[in-house]
Amino acid sequence: MKATWALIPLGFVAGTIFGALAFGDLPPPSAVPSPETTASDATPEATSDPGALQLVQVPQDPEARQGMTPDSGAPSEDSRITAVLASWRATDARIADLQSRLVNVERTLAERLQAEASDRREASKTADDRRDLLVAAGVRADLADDILWRESRIELDRLNLRDQASREGWMGSDRYREAVNALSEEGGNLREEIGDSAWDRYLYLSGEDNRVSVSSVIPGSAAEAAGLQPGDLIESYAGGQPFGFNDLRQATTEGEKGELVPVRVRRGERLIDAWVPRGPLGVRMGMTRAEPLP
């Protein structure tokens, strides 16, 4: 009887403890992680039970913890914005580089196509056609005849040279290249022989492009400071007349860099004179055909 009464207080105490646990909605002992549980074993996934214990894995490396908020363990908003801006800047730099390369490729391709088209047009003209164009450009008839005769002889010599080199097996060698260069020098330069004015008219009458045009002006460039505008035709640079890209590039690299040289452009019906420092103008160029000035 005494043993029974002794167990009653013990049961009362146990019931009180379990009732308190149930009233506080505390997790059962099985939900409490054991001391052996490590941060690497825990997962940050949320559970549907609001009373379940949530564990967040925190990097051990101090550098890896930079930019993480103390509450969520995720990168801060400022660090994400900084990363996005850095990525945009890198992308813009790559795009600018690609655009610059594309401009150079397009310019080189345009020059090659222009040279090939010029060669085809020249080949399609008969000797009489070329003579008439030269005379119409202001070349004396006897000089035009002499030029055409020399060109015909050199063309035949070039064909015979190619035939000989193919038969004897030295096509493409240094000997062949030297012989071709010698024939080209013997033919001379038609522009130098007839002069810039006649050469200008000859290009125009032949349907060739004879003017470098300004497609756009780069901000902060010498061209912008001089007042050049898109659509201007470059009539002269440092006293010389450029008829193509190579003419203008060569003129800008001659003399002393930075020395002031005159440049004349045609803008509609007006001629505008300006001074620019010797060197890159800072324009994107195009080619066009324009009637020579009187």
Instruction: Answer positive or negative: Cα dihedral of 152, 154, 156, 159.
Output: negative
**Looking at the structure, do residues 284 and 233 belong to the same domain, yes or no?**
yes
- The answer to whether residue 256 sits within a structural domain is yes
Output the tens digit of pLDDT for each of the chain's 294 residues.
444 444 454 555 455 554 544 444 444 444 444 444 444 444 444 444 444 444 445 455 555 555 555 555 556 778 888 888 888 888 888 888 887 777 767 666 766 665 555 555 555 578 899 999 999 999 999 999 999 999 999 999 999 999 999 999 999 999 999 999 998 888 779 999 999 999 999 999 999 999 999 999 999 999 999 999 999 999 999 999 999 999 999 999 999 999 999 999 999 999 999 999 999 999 999 999 999 998
Rounded CA-CA distance 241/198 in Å is 12
Q: What are phi and psi of 229, to 5 degrees?
A: -135, 155
What is the model's pLDDT at position 100?
A: 73
- The answer to whether residue 15 sits within a structural domain is no
Task: Give the Cβ contact number of residue 83 at 10 Å.
Answer: 12
Rounded CA-CA distance 107/244 in Å is 12
Rounded CA-CA distance 135/145 in Å is 10
**Looking at the structure, do residues 275 and 237 belong to the same domain, yes or no?**
yes
- The answer to whether residue 294 sits within a structural domain is no
Query: pTM of this prediction?
Result: 0.56
- The answer to whether residue 183 sits within a structural domain is yes
**Looking at the structure, do residues 153 and 177 belong to the same domain, yes or no?**
yes
DSSP structure class, residue 286: E
Task: Give the Cβ contact number of residue 285 at 10 Å.
Answer: 18
**Looking at the structure, do residues 119 and 130 belong to the same domain, yes or no?**
no
Q: What are phi and psi of 45, to 5 degrees?
A: -70, 140
The whole domain housing 116 covers 92-124
- The answer to whether residue 40 sits within a structural domain is no
Report how far Cα 208 is from the mean position of its chain's Cα atoms.
Answer: 29
**Domain termination residue (choose one: 205, 221, 255):** 205
Nearest CA to 80 among 66, 92, 93, 67? 67
- The answer to whether residue 34 sits within a structural domain is no
Nearest CA to 125 among 146, 151, 157, 156? 151
How many structural domains is the chain composed of? 3
The CATH number of whichever domain residue 251 belongs to comes to 2.30.42.10
* Contact criterion met (CB below 8 Å) for 248 and 178: no
- The answer to whether residue 1 sits within a structural domain is no
